[in-house]
Each structure stands twice: as structure tokens, then as C-alpha cells.
Amino acid sequence: MLGLILLLSAIRLNKSLEKSNEKILNMGLCQRVKSNYNDVCTGLKIRGVTRLLLYLVLAGGLVPNYEEFLYQYMVGPLEFNDLQIASLKVGGIVFTFFFLVIYHLCCLKFEIRFVMVFNICFMLFGKGAICLMLKGVTLGMSKFWFLMFSDSAIGEIYNILTFVPTAIVYGKMIPNNIESTVFSLLTGLNVFSNFFVNRMFGNFINRFVGVNKDNLEDLYTLYLISFFMSLLPLLFLPIIPSKKDIDNCQSVVKFIDEYKMVEHKNDADAEAEGTTRKMKEDDEKEGAKDMARPTKRRL
């Protein structure tokens, strides 16, 4: 699913990013590592980039995730078969496609802080719905369809509202020559916080609750804790750069890109002029040699 989001985000990138000069293509491993390290350091010097990365790590890592426990609950007490579990995953993909279209049509004009508040509300709704399901409240639906519209749909929408807006903002704040490297850093930290740290944090909390595959009665307690901890990202919203900060950063990045384009053009012109001069000198030398050859024959 994250790959689909990356694909749709990549479609919006500048095609000129795919053009590589000869120097980059001929780099060795150590040179590439050094170049990527320099690009990351350059990106982190941009204050808006650092603030947004910090928000992603804090907001994603401090909300415990219990998907593995919920899976054990589905195959245990609920007795879901493999087809039903696979159908929940496919349903999430379908919801992802439709919500991406809705986001593209309606949500691009909203400021990123508002989108993140909207995202937190979705997360609260999803956690709260699972708490109700664990207590037997499904609003007249079967538990399968209740999970389809709560866990599967809301989970994928949360992933979209976490990654897509931040990717768009990063595209505005990052200079073109380091865009791919910093996007890789964004993806890595997003996966690290939302798919690893939050699970490890959830396992730590579970040490005090004691839920396992043989004892799933207290899973409600874990999800209730996760529900209230989903409010924590609200405390970190001021870290996210405002629209004014993004616009100012975008102006600076645009100036830097234009300056580098002019500098690159001047370097290319100087290189072309040097090449032309060298060719002219070679032609003059060849002409002088041709003039000298008949003289030697007459002598």
C-alpha cells in the first residue's frame, strides 16, 4: 500500500530529476555514500524539513499499534478464515484508491496542519470503533463488515493523510538537486516510526497488560490506551511548518534552484568554449604540420 502511495506521489515529481550527469553515473560506492550524506545534511539544514520530520517521528512512534494482536483476535475468537482476512486487505486497497481521488480533488488546498488534525480525527474514529467491536457493539453490522469500514478503511486513509501531504510539502521545500535523497529519508523515517517504533512501544505497554494469543480478553484495554494516546499528536502540531513558513522556504529554494541553473549554464558554456578553443588549437597545429611536410620533401 505504501508502494502505491509512493507511485502516485512520484508521478507528480519533476521529470528533470531523472536526468543524471556523467559524474554521478561514474561514482563508486564510497562516493555515492558521501554524496547522499551531504544531500541529507543539506536537507536537514532547512528548518521546515527538520520540523516536519520530527513531527512524523513523534506522532507516529508515540501512538501504540496493535495490528498483530487484532489479527490474533480475528483468527481466534472471531474465527475469520484466510479469505475473509485477505478480503479486509483488498478492501483497504479499494478505499485507498477512492480516497486518493477525493484527496486530489478536495484536499490539496488545505494547510497541512488542518490535514493532520483531520488525520488524528480519523485515527480516533478507527481506534474507538475497534473498542466498540471488542465490546460487542457493531451497530447492526457483522463484525467482518464493521472491521472493513473501521480498521481496513480508516487504517489506509490514515496512511494516506500521513504520507501524501508531507510528500507534497517536501516537494515545495527541497531543492531539486537533493529531492530524491531527502524523499528517501522521509520514506525511511515514516516506515520506521509508523511500522516499527509504534509496534515496539505497543509491546512495551503490553508488558503491563499481559495480552497474548491465549489471552485476548484484555485487548480492549490496549486499544483504549491507544485511543487516548492518539491525542498526543495534537501536542506536536505547532512543530509542523505553517503555510507562511512553507511559502518563505519555497521562495528561498526557488532562488537557489535558479542560481544553480545559471551557474550550471555558465559552467557548461565555459566548458564548451574551452573545448572549442582546444579544437581550434589542434586544427592550427595540424595545419602547421601540413605546411611543414612539403618543405621537408623539397629539402
pLDDT of residue 206: 92
Q: What are the cell numbers at 237?
A: 502540531
pLDDT in tens, 186-235: 888 888 888 899 999 999 999 999 898 888 888 999 999 999 999 999 99
* In the predicted structure, residue 132 carries a pLDDT above the cut 80: yes
* In the predicted structure, residue 295 carries a pLDDT above the cut 60: no
pLDDT of residue 17: 52
- Residue that the C-alpha cell 524539513 belongs to: 49
pLDDT of residue 214: 82
pLDDT of residue 284: 67
Do 5 and 163 meet the contact criterion of CB atoms below 8 Å apart? yes
pLDDT in tens, 58-74: 988 999 999 889 999 99
Proportion of the chain above pLDDT 90, given as a percent: 21
Do 89 and 152 meet the contact criterion of CB atoms below 8 Å apart? yes
pLDDT in tens, 4-13: 666 666 666 6
Q: What's the rounded mean pLDDT across residues 28-51?
A: 81
Do 158 and 119 meet the contact criterion of CB atoms below 8 Å apart? yes
- Mean pLDDT, the chain, as a whole number? 80
pLDDT of residue 7: 63
Do 63 and 230 meet the contact criterion of CB atoms below 8 Å apart? yes
pLDDT of residue 47: 83
In degrees to the nearest 10, what's the CA dihedral of 284, 290, 295, 299?
A: 130
- Residue that the C-alpha cell 485477505 belongs to: 86
User: d(Cα 95, Cα 74) in Å, to the nearest integer?
Assistant: 21
* In the predicted structure, residue 16 carries a pLDDT above the cut 60: no
| pTM of the full structure | 0.74
For 215, which DSSP code?
B
Q: Residue ranges of the domains in the chain?
A: 2-13+23-241, 243-299
pLDDT of residue 199: 92
pLDDT in tens, 83-94: 999 999 888 888
pLDDT of residue 263: 60
* In the predicted structure, residue 299 carries a pLDDT above the cut 50: no
CATH topology classification for 2-13+23-241? Growth Hormone; Chain: A; (1.20.1250)
Q: What residues have CB less than 8 Å from 27, skipping those under 6 apart?
A: 35
